[in-house]
Every structure is written in structure tokens, then in C-alpha cells.
Structure 1
Amino acid sequence: MSDQGAVCYTFEAAVEMAIKMEEEGFRHYLDAIRKVKLKGAREILKEAAVDELDHKCSLEKSLLEGQMAGGDALTRQIPTMNLGYVLAKKELRADSDTREALAYAIHLEKGSIDFYKRMADGCAGAPMGGIFAQMLADETKHLQQLEDMYEEHFMTEN
């Protein structure tokens, strides 16, 4: 979906694109869960997969209602450390550990953030712009949580 530029879509098309994005994220996590054997790493991936399902469900409900639930409750992006730029992006293996699972999840969340940022910018001022801003804010919250966990467990202070 990297070919979307500064373009806006109908409400339904915009939500359908977001649903597809969340489904793809869930499938990536599911594939990773099937590969990884270590319990701690699997738990991190499972929690992230559930977040993707929650997003997808919320978006599908908005299709039924014709609007995104929650209004503008959470539309402000949360600052992150941008660890995705520092951590190597690698495929997970059966013996991948918690650190690698966190790095993998951070990269997937970064991809979602990039998608929602492009869509929010393209739809700025349109009704569906708020949907993408809300999803962007939620994704940055998830990224911050993953980065905080990474920092707590794997980044030592000098």
C-alpha cells in the first residue's frame, strides 16, 4: 500500500483500506507466532496481534455505523523513540527471542504508522481524515508501549 499519495477516498473506501491494513498486520503477527517457539516472544506477538484485531473490529463497526466511534477522543500522535530506525529489520525464526520479537513488532507498527500518516495527510479536512488521525494516534500509542518495553528490558543506561 505504499503507492497511496496525497489522495482522499470515500468514507467506505478509506475504511476498507484501513481494514485491509489491519488484516495484513494481523497475518504478519500470526505467521510470526507460528514460527517462534519461545514463550515470551510469542506473548509479545500475540498481544500485538490482538491489537490489530481490535483495530479491525473497530473499523468494521464504523462501516456499519457510517462513522468512526469515539469522535476525536484520541487524535493526537504520541511521541516515540523511533527505534524502528535503529533496530535491524529481520524475519523471525523458531529460536527468535523476546528482543527480536519486540524489534519485529516495532517494525510492523512503524509500517502501520507510515500508512495512516499518508492517509491522514491525504484526507486532511475531509470527514475520513479523522478516522486516519485516530488510527494514527492509536498506532503511535502501541509503538510507544513496545518501545518502552524494549527500553526497559534491553537498553542499559551508561
Structure 2
Amino acid sequence: MSDAATCYTFEGALETAISMEEEGFRNYLRALKAVQNKGAKEILRENALDELNHKHQLEKALIEGQVSSSDEMLREIPSMNLDYVLKQQDLGPDSGVREALAYAIHLEKGAVDFYGRVADGCAGAPMAALFARLKAEESLHLQRLEDLYEQHFMTEN
């Protein structure tokens, strides 16, 4: 991936974001092929489709020459930082839902961090808003995954 401290032109910013989404999709696809657990496959499949949707939206913006405004949330959602307590590991045939969620949490956290670094590198430039929006969207995905993990695997005392 390109140096995240660099600011981009409109096309460069979109190409960078498209590459990031493609990489995320490929990671989910590899994991999806590796696992056998039905629940794990469903989590990975949904997240792979989210990555494809983001990529499609960005490619459409590249063709149209502008990013469409939407009603999607534009603020970053705070994370529980489960990536710090969950082990990052590749998935295999015996991986279950817990491992798939941990895997997805790490991928989404990586995307949040990447988009945040690029937005900071573009501070004050028009592209900063695009990357801040992408960071906010990824943080929403991260929060949903963390909430799901908490609901199913973190017991209350």
C-alpha cells in the first residue's frame, strides 16, 4: 500500500481507497475458502460483500468524477479495541464463529487505521474529507463486529 502520510489527488485518493477495499475483499475471500463452519462462513461472506460494495461505490465515484453525498454516518464510531485482546491469526478448516469475528475485527481495525493515517496526511486538503468518511464507514463496520462478538462471547459476571 502507498505511503499513508502522502496526500493524493482526487483520482489518486480514490485509487488508493479502491486498492484498500480490494485487499480487504481478497483477505475475506481467502478466509472464506479456508473455513468450514457455517456461521463463520456467513460472517466472512457478509464482510466480503461489504468490501465489494465499498469498492463499487468508489469506482463509480472515479467514473463520475465526484463522491456522491449520502446520508451515511460521517463521524467515527468509538471502538472497544477488541483487536488488542483478540489474537490475530489466519483461519483454517476448524475455525469457528469466534475466530472469524476476531479475524474480521482485525481486518476492519486495519482499514480504520489506514484511512485515519491518510486523512491525517491530507489534513486541510479536500481529500481529507473523503478519507475521514471512509474511516467513519469502516469504524461502523468495526463496531458492529465488536458488538456481535460481545453479544455472543463476552459473558457478564
- Correspondence for 2:153: 154
Note the C-alpha offset of 1:75: 2.1
Amino acid at match of 1:114: D
Paired residue secondary structure (1:128): helix
- Correspondence for 2:138: 139
Q: What do residues 70-122 of structure 1 show as CA deviations (whole Å, max 9, x unaligned)?
A: 16853210111010111000110101000000000000001101110011111
Tell me the distance in 2 between the aligned counterparts of 1:123 and 1:72: 23
Q: Extract structure 1 runs of 4+ deviating beyond 4 A.
A: none
- TM-score normalised over the length of structure 1: 0.95
RMSD: 1.3
Alignment of 1:1-158 (within 5 A): 1=1, 4-70=3-69, 73-158=72-157
Structure 2 unmatched ranges of 5 or more: none
The number of residues matched between the two structures is 157
Tell me the distance in 2 between the aligned counterparts of 1:66 and 1:126: 17
Q: For structure 1, which segment, 56-65 or 69-78, has the greater mean C-alpha deviation from structure 2 after superposition?
A: 69-78
- TM-score normalised over the length of structure 2: 0.96
Tell me the distance in 1 between the aligned counterparts of 2:117 and 2:107: 16
Note the C-alpha offset of 1:129: 1.2
Q: What do residues 35-72 of structure 1 show as CA deviations (whole Å, max 9, x unaligned)?
A: 10010000000000011001101111111121211168
